Amino acid sequence: MARAPIAMGAPAPASTPGAAPLIDLSVLDPAMRFAGDASYRAIRALAPIARDAYDTWCVLVLGTCVGLVLGVLFVRSARLAREARAKATAAAKKLKASAEKLTASAKKLKELKKKNTGGGDDGDGDGGDEKTYAGLPEEVMKVALQHLPKWTKQPDHSRTAWLNKSIDCFWPGLDTAASQCIRDSVEPMLRTMMPSFVNWIGFEKITLGPTPLVVGGAKTHGSNSEDAMLELEIAWTSGVDVILSAYVFGVRIPIRLHDVQLKTTVRLDFNPLVDELPCLGAVDVSLLDELALLDFGLTIPPGIDLMALPGVQQLVKHVVRGSLKTMTYPEKMSCPIMTNSGHEPRATGMIKLTARGGKNFEKMVGYKKGMFGGEQYVVQVSTRERRKIRLSRKHGNDPVWGELNYFLAHEDTVLAVVLYDKGMRVVGRCECALGPLVTEDAAGESRLLCLPIEPPEAYECEPPKRRQPDPDAKDPAADWQAIKTEFELATQTHAMKAAELRSKTLVRALKGDENEMRDVPTLQCELEYVSFRSPEFGSFRTAFAGVNRATPKGILTVFVDRASSATDENNRVLRPVATCSVAGQSYTTAAPKMMTSTPRWGETFLFFNVSVEEKLTVTLSGAEAKSSKRGGEFMGEFTVPVREIAMDHEVYDGYELKGLKNTGQVFCRLKFTFMQG
């Protein structure tokens, strides 16, 4: 059949670059045009089917590959489990055979013993048991000895049955608290580290299990007055169950940690010990050695054991032991119990405070004229709660002291002055903020302060208290949150009022206006600040002249406890006082009220900027008394090199008095702490 010519006036069909020109079906035979349309419709109908078939094929191939991998892992874990069961069965059979042999030997030995003793018994039958235990295989004995607690093998370890009972009682609460603590601390860290393709990560389940840890033994170490050290042997066969899940592209991938078993020795160092509840500032935790036993399970649901894969168990345990090296002694992990771990704020320098004297003490509220023309007063000065210095007792309305003392200071230091009367009743108080005077710019500059002594009620502002929750509140949680917010605001307001009052006191003390202070009791002091970063640190120009600055220096704490056989050269009993002197500083204890040869002082003195090359001198003498001719008599002395104290850190001993033919001793606790700039 001849081809039909293409019409010359028809438009040229659109064509794709690089493709064959299309044919205009309008000039073809109607039968052929119908066949072409049918083929096109058939191809368009089959295209979605082909795409579905392709997607199905891809999913099938991917599922087959994943199934093969999981099948290999499952078969491998099943084989390892079967081998482990076979080994356990063989070991059990071997142990059973050994037990049967041991039982037979015991029976034969018992029969032989009966024959030798004429069929009688030797009494309690303990000999048979001893033979039985002595006949155990060596491997069994080694394993049994490894699991015995330390108190059975080491006499310096004590039993801890009471501690284990206590742990058993509060274990449920500890489980809940520890689980919540782990969730709150670990989850935010994981979510900040997760990559972009992870939609969510977190714990689905955390529990320590019903089985508490067991303390096998406890050992205490000799400690000083500021810390206590305890060693605990811990064994834990736990029911820990932790499930950590991550959603990757919407697919949940869980990992389960369970059945943790460990055994180790932990050292707890409670440091410092403070005189406020709970009396423990912080606890330092460290491992004395590597874990003696560490085992745990790591699986992926529905039960694929990752630890059974070749090399995974060794790799995971290596990572865990490596991370625990940061806690192996001498490394430690500090856990604060109190604010700032019970320590005072870190000092940036020290102040040299000279108490000159007082004025207008007769203006004191409740003033009583004494026998000597004025009341007897005692002044207490402090910058820290744990170190309070009392000046000597003075009579009169304008007492004069001229005493020099040193105090640690920082930018928030408050100088507190408390005035007592003869009966040690508080009659006046002054609190002065020293922030502007203890800066680097103010170092080395001497300032005169006229501290106004106000009635104690001026500074005794009762701190805020929390209000009780409303039992009829519709939303208890919102009520508790409101109580917390109100208490925080009240606490901040109380602190701001106290700071404002102390700042005003500083302004008045620096101003020293005589007209304003005319009717106010005042205490005149001279203050000089020395910064630890200042080149002047290491030697005060007056008190410490001639001391080598390169020599290590620190703070020497002297606790004068008591004395025995304290008499003079003629064996007469006096009212002895102890004078401690080192590095140009000197302190004297208070005199006993009665004559005694066994005085008890119990006073603590701090000496700042003391070189290790110095020597501490303690001199015993009779108390000065105008009515006694025996006042001020020499009763002996002793010296202690500071270097020996620094080597031992803290010493408590009785020191023999020298210079007289007596056998007197003074008992002191000496402690040296190096200072770092």
pLDDT in tens, 571-606: 888 889 999 999 888 888 988 888 898 999 988 888
Fill in the amino acid letter for 361.
Answer: F
Q: What is the DSSP string of 411-445?
A: TT-EEEEEEE-TT--EEEEEEEE-GGGSSSTTTT-
pTM of the model: 0.50
Phi and psi, residue 189, nearest 5°: -65, -40
Q: Tokens for 347?
A: 């000092």
Q: What is the pLDDT of residue 53?
A: 80
**Residues ≥6 apart with Cβ < 8 Å to 190:** 201, 202
Contact 269, 218 (CB under 8 A): no
**Residues ≥6 apart with Cβ < 8 Å to 110:** 128
- pLDDT at 171 > cutoff 80: yes
Q: What is the pLDDT of residue 617?
A: 94
Q: What is the pLDDT of residue 116?
A: 58
Measured CA to CA, the distance from residue 145 to residue 152 in angstroms comes to 10
What's the average model confidence in pLDDT over 130-141? 59
Phi and psi, residue 541, nearest 5°: -65, -20
SS3 labels along 81-93: HHHHHHHHHHHHH
Measured CA to CA, the distance from residue 149 to residue 213 in angstroms comes to 13
The 10s digit of each residue's pLDDT in 406-450 is 888 888 889 999 988 877 788 889 999 998 888 888 888 888 999
What's the average model confidence in pLDDT over 188-197? 85
Q: For residue 201, which of 259, 257, 243 has the smallest C-alpha distance? A: 243
Q: Is the peptide bond before 302 cis (omega within 30 degrees of 0)?
A: yes
Band (32; pLDDT cuts 50, 70, 90): low
With vertex at residue 407, the alpha carbon angle to CA 403 and CA 411, rounded to the nearest 5 degrees, is 135
CA distance to 187, 192, 252, per residue, from 198 (Å): 14, 11, 10
Band (131; pLDDT cuts 50, 70, 90): very low
- pLDDT at 17 > cutoff 60: no
Lowest mean pLDDT among 40-44, 279-283, 397-401, 606-610: 40-44
With vertex at residue 534, the alpha carbon angle to CA 530 and CA 540, rounded to the nearest 5 degrees, is 50
Contact 456, 417 (CB under 8 A): no
Measured CA to CA, the distance from residue 433 to residue 498 in angstroms comes to 10
Tokens 């009341």: give the residue.
375
Which contiguous run of DSSP H or E holds residue 178? Answer: helix 161-193
- Max CA distance (Å), the chain: 159
Its sign, for the CA torsion 133, 135, 137, 139, is positive
* Strand 333-336 relative to strand 349-359, pairing: unpaired
Q: Tokens for 553?
A: 């220096």
Band (618; pLDDT cuts 50, 70, 90): very high
* Strand 585-588 relative to strand 522-531, pairing: unpaired
